[in-house]
Amino acid sequence: MLYGLKIAIRYLTASKAQTALLVLGVAVGVFIFIFMSALIGGLAEFILSRTVGDISHITIEAEDPDPAVLVNGDGLVLAVIERGRTRTATLSDAATYLPLIENVPGVVAVSPQIGGAGFLTRGAQVAQVSVTGLEPGRESAILNLRGYMVEGSERLGSGIVVLGETLADDLSLRLGQTLRLQSSTGASAILTVGGIYDTGNGLIDGSSVYVSLPTARALFALPQGVTRIEIKLSDLNAADATALRIASLTGLDAVPWTDGAEQLMEALDAQAQTGYFLKTFALITIVIGVASALLLSTYRRRPEIGIMRAMGAGRGFVIFVFVTQGALVGLLGGVSGAALGYLALLPFPSRDAFEPGTLPMDITQGSYGLAITLTVIGAILASILPARSAARVDPVTAIGQ
């Protein structure tokens, strides 16, 4: 087989220009494959980071207990205690679960929170807001508050509130000014504006405020426990599996972000399918290119194949020579195309620095190894037909040509 390899290499190097063109053709196909992989992957990453990057990947919320009912001996419901208007359900044992959850593989941040509704009053102006109590020191665990700050700091302490720029404008609030926050339970607190953020999300910027967890406990009369636990993962695609794992560990109802995001997932799937089609077409182009070039080579070398057969080369040897040529072309073209693709993707910003208006190319999603492997396999498959054709060459006819 070593000798077959030598002949295959000799045939490729004997027609340098033709081989270079063939390798270039394959490399362009691989380049397109890698470019499409990086674009489709980067685009999906960009969309996900913009839509779910700043939300909890897994959320555990306290479940309201079933309403108490009074039933007579015949099973007839006599009385029902209706749910209260304000949220009372709590995760009272949250402190026990937090270390367990933090140790689950893939979990990068855990944020115990107390959430509820409230009214913000500044002079005569009143705004209805959503209040979230965060653990001091973990303010940016889920929503990257620090990254969105336009004034002040995201640090939450006693008597500090952090709010959005839209809300601050609506209430004519400035950094260091005070306001009154009344919760839905009726408790109120006088707070100082410690920071103003701008996330670009109208709902968060216009109607959400953040206070420290102790402040929220006082506002919502929750001396212990939390109302929800938000969890961030290193791989948001692992949310379903990790949620199941957390649920089995804690017995709590862990909900992945994908619940209720079916439309987004469908859109991403459709985008991925488009990518597969484009990559498949690139591979088909490679296969056709290699097959046609090798068929041409087979035809051109028919007399030589005839001589080899006359000198005692078996059909298997001839097949090996031509299949090896295909494999070498695939390998050379695959590696060259992968290198070209990598170099072409280098100038694009990294996935963490995608900016609006630029192509969100993710160099880490180029599928380089896959591209090279598929190209070599494709080139080998493409060379089988020419190789079989070469092996069937009749030595007598070929030598007489």
Partner 1 sequence: MTALLEVSDLFKTFGSGEAETLVLSGLSLTLQEGEMTALLGPSGSGKSTLLTILGTLMKPTSGRHTMLGRDLVAANDAALTEFRNLHIGFVFQFHNLLPDFTALENVVFPTAVREGRETPAARIRGRELLVRMGLGARVDFPSAKLSGGQKQRVAVARALMNRPELVLADEPTGNLDRVSAMQVMDLIAEINRDEGTTFLISTHDEKIASLCARQIVVGDGQVTG
Where do contacts with partner 1 occur on this chain (CB under 8 A)? 1-4, 6, 10-11, 14, 303-304, 306-315, 317, 395-396, 399
Paired residues of 190 in beta bridges: 180
> How far, in Å, CA of 192 to CA of 159, rounded?
6
Contacts of range 353-361, beta carbons closer than 8 Å, 24 or more positions apart: 354/42, 354/45, 354/46, 354/49, 359/39, 359/42, 360/39, 360/42, 360/43, 360/45, 360/46, 361/35, 361/38, 361/39, 361/42
Which residue number, 4 or 337, has a Cβ lying nearer to partner 1? 4
Cβ at position 10, least distance to partner 1 in Å: 5
Query: Please, what is the minimum distance in Å from the beta carbon of residue 29 to partner 1?
Result: 27
In the complex, the smallest distance separating the C-beta of residue 388 from partner 1, rounded to whole angstroms, is 14
Q: For residues 2 and 9, is the Cβ–Cβ distance under 8 A?
A: no
- Give least dist CB 3 to partner 1, A: 5
Of the pair 179, 387, the CB lying nearest partner 1 is at 387
DSSP state of 67: P
Smallest separation (angstroms) from partner 1 to the CB of 13: 8
> Shortest approach of partner 1 to residue 47 CB, angstroms?
54
Q: With respect to partner 1, which residue has the nearer C-beta, 2 or 353?
A: 2
What one-character-per-residue DSSP string does 91-135 give? Answer: BTTHHHHHHHHHTSTTEEEEEEEEEEEEEEEETTEEEEEEEEEE-
Smaller CB separation from partner 1, 15 or 192? 15
Strands 188-197 and 160-164: parallel
Nearer to partner 1, 191 or 313 (CB): 313
Q: Which residues 6+ apart lie within 8 Å of 70 measured at CB?
A: 77, 78, 79, 80
Determine the Cα–Cα distance for residues 320 and 296; give it in Å rounded to an integer.
17
Residue closer to partner 1 (CB basis): 147 or 316: 316
| Residue 241 or 396 having the CB closest to partner 1 | 396
Least distance (Å) from partner 1 to the CB of residue 321? 10
Using the minimum distance from each CB to partner 1, give the nearer residue, 57 or 309.
309
The C-alpha angle 61, 252, 225, rounded to 5 degrees, equals 55
Least separation in angstroms between residue 398's CB and partner 1 is 10
Helix, strand, coil proportions of the chain in percent (round to 5)?
Answer: 55, 20, 30
